[in-house]
Amino acid sequence: GAAALILGIETSCDETACAVLDGSGAIRAEKLASQIADHAPFGGVVPEIAARAHLDILPAMVGAALREAGVSAGNLAAIAATAGPGLIGGLIVGANFAKGMAIATGAPFFAINHLEAHALTARLPGLDVSVPEFPYLLLLVSGGHTALIAVEGVGRYCRLGTTLDDAAGEAFDKVAKLLGLPYPGGPALERLAAEGDAARFALPRPMLGRPGCDFSFSGLKTAVAQRVAATPPGALSRSFAADLAASFQRAVVEAMADRLGRALAMMPGCTAVVVAGGVAANGAIRSALANVAARDGRSLIAPPLRLCTDNAVMVAWAAIERMRAGSPSDPLAAPCRPRWM
């Protein structure tokens, strides 16, 4: 029932997060700490630093969330943690913390697949978006993941495409670094691109027109690197960087629109496209995706950004969805899996 409270924990990458939801999906407490500042000097997420940072702050964060929700650990109806895919050190910290709590309290433990959690987020009640009906298409584009997933029901997913090399956000971050922008580069690159001329540089459109729904970004990133390398330092002006950023962004937009179009063609019965992941914050990408969806008579659903990026509300919600679907909890021996699905 609605009074049963579920704790969710997320530690698969560089966000430490926990949340308490009631059985209806209402959020009773929501905590998140980003490690961006810890990793920025290295230009990317350092797994060992991430795991230690999760360990440093998770216990107090969970304590604070339980207090805020007005529940003691012993009264939780379920405890859920992301068990993969992700960075193994962080997964072990979060999942073992949850297992310890489950042992101490007797509450059932749920080992949540991070991609499943992203996939089901849009179904959380009370969001300012229409709730997608199954089957729908998920486009997940973040720093760590690039995937097109047919969501046919709770526990029923079919991956239609993924990246053959870099994740979409990783490509933004690497190109931003080439252009001298700070980490994480996606938002800064989008701002710079807004001043630039996207027609100035002819860059490759990765996978455009190829069969299937897979992505590839490393060739595009290399093309940008070659442009930068071929330009004398004196000519690396702000307008050069802005034009290159805009040209890169347009190439990504066109490639993504192409991939989405192909995935939709494979799912005639689907009425909605749900986007998730930090890259979905990009305005140019978002409007291109909305156009492709609309052209095909489907709607584009974007949950609020804080729930599109890594968070623990989605982890608790995935456990609630699984319980409602009659799925049993997981054994305490359930492993953490850096790669999963």
DSSP 41-87: GGTS--HHHHHHHHHHHHHHHHHHHHHHHT--GGG-SEEEEEEESS-
Closer residue to Zn ion (CB): 242 or 279: 279
Interface with ligand KG4 (CB under 6 A), residue from 23, 100, 108, 187:
187
Q: Does 315 bind ligand KG4 (CB under 6 A)?
A: no
Smaller CB separation from Zn ion, 170 or 310: 310
Stretch binding ligand KG4 (CB under 6 A), from 146-154, 184-192, 226-234, 267-275: 184-192
CB 175 within 8 A of CB 189: yes
Q: How many CA atoms lie within 13 A of 325 on its CB side?
A: 13
Q: Least Å distance between CB 123 and ligand KG4?
A: 19
Check residue 309 for interaction with ligand KG4 (CB under 6 A). yes
- Interface with ligand KG4: number of residues (CB under 6 A): 20
Task: Report if residue 16 touches ligand KG4, rule: CB under 6 A.
Answer: no
Q: Does 116 bind Zn ion (CB under 5 A)?
A: no
> Does the annotation place 143 within a ligand binding site?
yes
For residue 263, the minimal CB distance to ligand KG4 (Å) is: 20
x-or-dash string of contact with Zn ion, 208-227, rule CB under 5 A? --------------------
The HSE-up count of residue 281 (CA atoms within 13 Å, CB side) is 21
Residue 143 binds which entry of Zn ion, ligand KG4, none, CB below 5-8 Å type-dependent = ligand KG4
Give the number of other Cβ atoms within 10 Å of residue 126's Cβ.
Answer: 9
> To 10 degrees, what angle do helices 185-193 and 283-295 make?
80
> Of these, 310, 312, 316, 322, which contacts Zn ion (CB under 5 A)?
310
Name the residue nearer to ligand KG4 (CB basis): 5 or 280.
280
Please tell me whether residue 166 binds ligand KG4 under the rule CB under 6 A.
no
Residue with smaller CB distance to ligand KG4, 190 or 258: 190
Contacts of the segment 282-285: beta carbons below 8 A, 24+ positions apart: 282/172, 282/186, 282/190, 282/249, 283/190, 284/190, 284/193, 284/249, 284/250, 284/253, 285/141, 285/249, 285/252, 285/253, 285/256
Instruction: Give 293's strand partners.
Output: none
Helix ranges restricted to H, the chain: 36-39, 47-69, 88-105, 114-120, 168-178, 185-193, 218-229, 238-265, 283-295, 305-308, 313-324
Q: How far is the CB of 150 from Zn ion (least distance, A)?
A: 18
| Closest approach of ligand KG4 to the CB of residue 102, in Å | 26
For 87, the token pair is 């960075």
Residue 114, annotated as binding a ligand: yes
Strands 136-141 vs 272-276: parallel, antiparallel or unpaired: parallel
Binding site for Zn ion (CB under 5 A): 142, 310
Residues in binding site for Fe cation? 114, 118, 310
Binding site for ligand KG4 (CB under 6 A): 13-14, 142-144, 169, 172-173, 184-187, 190, 277-279, 281-282, 309-310
